[in-house]
Structure 1
Amino acid sequence: MGATAGAVWGRAEQQDFRSRVRGTLLGAAVGDALGGPADGLTLEEIRSSYGAEGLVDLAVGFGRRGAVTHHTQLTLFTVDGLIRAQVRRDTGAWHPPTDLHRAYLRWAATQRDWGPDERREDDGWLAREEWLYARRDPSRALLIGFGDTHMGTLEKPKNPGELGPEAVARSAPFGLLVGWEPQLVVQLAVECAAQTHGHPTAYLSAGAYAVIVHALARGDSLDGAVQRALALLVARPGHQPVSDALQHALGAVRQGMPSPARVAELAGDGTADGLLAAAVYCALVGEDVRHGLCLAVNQTGPSGAAGALAGGLLGALHGETALPPAWLAELEGRPTILELADDFAMEMTQGPALHGPAGSSPGWLVRYPRA
């Protein structure tokens, strides 16, 4: 799927792309929901709470089964920001990192406000979804990064010592820009990650994850997608920890049967590079999506982030129909996720028909305002 901006998409291509978009967003969300209840628990505590095999089904978190965390919330606002960036491109005022930053500030408002403010007409439809106003343990790095209107950049990043996985866990949608060249996908993901996670290991992990999803969404194998990421990382200062982690993940595949111990070794102390490596490994060795997700979340570390990363990879690789239907049936916010996924797919494949020289759809511009 090598479509470029302005290319004509065939119907089969559009259907395949929509399935991968849905798969990526739903997969990341269901992995987040699976792992969220285990965040902060050791593997021994997970087994004590959920049985000898650990978490093998959705459990209660935030008062219900299938609840998502801030990882999914921010991923959805990433999608919203990317659509808004495409719509704003018509105006000539096109700077995607700024549009993404504005989207993340809309997420930050959900963490402060009781509910949507109908007076803010330029917020668009996603920011009016009341279920997104639940506070789901966002990290300090996120609250600081989006705590004011100043945007972190690669030259002056926010939280320059932050190594956590949160920026990686919101970066799958960048990979769905299949009409973009891979190096541009990496650049956008890196710049947007630096808005909260300014350490090179964190923001380069986000870039690597995005470009792996990008290759999968174009139909590449997971092994091939990781090799593409490694090739693009080489030119980036500070890439070695991320490159080493990905190489370690590939090597671990050949070291016998998958086990929680191997996942724990890859994940390390839960930094961005370790979680990325663990997610890649689980997606590579999982017998199916369910098995890969269970491997990812049963570990001592940020289980929600690990599940989200593995789920995004598996969903991009296999499409939405490979995801466990029983889990999707209980997934919080599934109608919103599907609606946003389909809007993204429509914008990326048919954007000129929604807003372009021939005319604009008023309804679309209400959903995704240019302002």
Structure 2
Amino acid sequence: MTPTANVPGLDDRITGSLLGAAVGDALGGPVEGCTPEQILERHGGRVTGIVDPWNGDDRRTARPAAPCREGDGHVTDDTLMTHALIRVYEKVRDHLDAYAVADHLVPELMNFPAWIPEPEAEALPLQRLLLAEKWVVTRLHYGHVDPREAGNGNIVNCGAAMYMAPVGLVNAGHPRAAYAEALDITGAHQSSYGREAAGVFAAAVAAACAPGATPVSVVDTVLSLAKDGTEAAIEAVAEVACRYTDFESALAPLRKAVAPFDTVGPDYRAPSLGARRPSRLHSIEELPIALGMLLVGGGDFRHTVLGAVNYGRDCDSIAAMAGAIVGALHGEPAVPADWAKRVTEASRLDPHAPARTLAGVAREVFARDAEARRAHETAFAALTGADR
């Protein structure tokens, strides 16, 4: 089917997804870790767009573990990791696996300076990452661990999932393939439900790229793939989300729905003693809530992403995931132009070059996959006598 004004094509969906993820990330960054009540008090109402850093000029001492300028349109490590993975795809120009992380992503993080928006400085991406992501470098570069097993022992959080949108876009329209590839890649980063969430998020982006996809079809697709606590959490959140069309009234019910599966506990800044340990019963919080807000917002970018932002807690990742899915559903026009302009200028991002790169890779990968599939069909036909 030829793309039309109402049916965005591959390039438009890839641009929309990457831009949507960056905008969601930038909007959520300033209120990350806060509760909806704290957001109301700090901003005198709900966040409705790009806001200033939470602690203003005191940010470097107020949060010494992450002394960054989250706010004013600056993207966070979610977007930095996403773009680093795109550069790996640009080099490999094929499906990726855990060995690609060791051979290409780790050197990207360690050796190639980039503009880091929050401190507003040129630096190595590794210097901005938190310990859960530095684990990848520690295990692979210094520990020489088998890449497929390097994620074992890391804390289980959304760190592996947060940058998997490119995997869904390279496998656009093929959620099962996206799920499998993301699981392979993130064996180098995490285990358990953190790795599972990475596969499911990539599948959600791939499902959103299918012509005619809707928020409901995306959620139904990922539920057919998700396993264990991740499946149960998405199902529980989706059941609640479908009752609401206004994110304000949905904030508390969605948190209540996901709480039994979330190991962090009620105080995001003070995780419980059982937080982020491997389990078949639990799920990261971010992906189910992103999918829930997708349903509440009906696929509208502003409503979906602002719901994710005002949810608080790890809302930069929630909003980045939600923005990536909505952008894949509707293409670049879905992302508000005023937000896109502010974020790309403040973060010094080129909104189109990474998308062009990834679209080119996706076409090459599809052509190679199609050739391999035809070869398999020929071989299978010969084995079964179907060619006689």
TM-score normalised per structure 2: 0.72
The residue that corresponds to 1:141 in the other structure is 132
Which has the greater radius of gyration? 2
- Contact 1:266–1:274 (8 Å) recurs in 2: no
2:308 maps to 1:316: no
Deviation track 1:269-323 (CA, whole Å, cap 9, x = no partner) reads: 4675321110001111115211111111212411111111111111111111111
Deviation track 1:15-58 (CA, whole Å, cap 9, x = no partner) reads: 611111011101111100001111222322222211222x2211
Match of 1:246 among 219, 227, 234: 234
- The aligned runs of 1:112-123 (5 Å cut-off) are 115=113
The residue that corresponds to 1:277 in the other structure is 288
**Cα distance change of structure 1 residues 264 and 98 upon mapping to structure 2, 3 Å threshold:** same
- Contact 1:22–1:338 (8 Å) recurs in 2: yes
Q: State the distance in 1 between where 2:220 and 2:158 align.
A: 21
- Contact 1:152–1:196 (8 Å) recurs in 2: no
Amino acid corresponding to residue 78 of structure 2 in structure 1: H
Deviation at 1:245, TM superposition (A): 1.2
Instruction: Report SS of the residue matched to 1:65.
Output: coil
**Cα distance change of structure 1 residues 70 and 136 upon mapping to structure 2, 3 Å threshold:** farther
The residue that corresponds to 1:105 in the other structure is 106
- The aligned runs of 1:1-371 (5 Å cut-off) are 16-53=9-46, 55-61=47-53, 62-63=68-69, 65-86=72-93, 96-109=97-110, 115=113, 133=124, 138-147=129-138, 148-149=140-141, 150=144, 153-154=147-148, 156-160=149-153, 162-178=155-171, 181-198=174-191, 200-219=192-211, 220-233=213-226, 239-256=227-244, 257-258=246-247, 259-268=250-259, 269=262, 273-286=284-297, 288-331=300-343, 332-333=346-347, 335-349=349-363
Number of equivalenced pairs = 316
Unaligned runs of 5+ in 1: 2-9, 117-129, 234-238, 354-371
Deviation at 1:174, TM superposition (A): 0.6
**Cα distance change of structure 1 residues 263 and 298 upon mapping to structure 2, 3 Å threshold:** farther
* Sequence identity percentage: 23
Amino acid corresponding to residue 295 of structure 1 in structure 2: G
Q: State the distance in 1 between where 2:126 and 2:96 align.
A: 29
Q: State the distance in 2 between where 1:72 and 1:202 align.
A: 18
- Contact 1:28–1:312 (8 Å) recurs in 2: yes
Deviation track 1:148-198 (CA, whole Å, cap 9, x = no partner) reads: 4236645x2424352211111101111112368433321210122222222
**Cα distance change of structure 1 residues 195 and 97 upon mapping to structure 2, 3 Å threshold:** closer
Unaligned runs of 5+ in 2: 54-67, 115-120, 265-275, 277-282, 368-388
- Contact 1:146–1:196 (8 Å) recurs in 2: no
TM-score normalised per structure 1: 0.75
**Cα distance change of structure 1 residues 204 and 333 upon mapping to structure 2, 3 Å threshold:** same
Amino acid corresponding to residue 312 of structure 1 in structure 2: A
Deviation track 1:307-355 (CA, whole Å, cap 9, x = no partner) reads: 11111111111111111111111114464342111121133236899xx
Q: State the distance in 2 between where 1:104 and 1:67 align.
A: 23
Amino acid corresponding to residue 57 of structure 1 in structure 2: G
**Cα distance change of structure 1 residues 263 and 58 upon mapping to structure 2, 3 Å threshold:** farther
Q: Which moved more, 1:20-29 or 1:186-195?
A: 186-195
Instruction: Report SS of the residue matched to 1:52.
Output: coil
**Cα distance change of structure 1 residues 72 and 43 upon mapping to structure 2, 3 Å threshold:** same
**Cα distance change of structure 1 residues 38 and 135 upon mapping to structure 2, 3 Å threshold:** farther
CA-based RMSD: 3.1
The residue that corresponds to 1:5 in the other structure is none
Q: State the distance in 2 between where 1:189 and 1:76 align.
A: 16
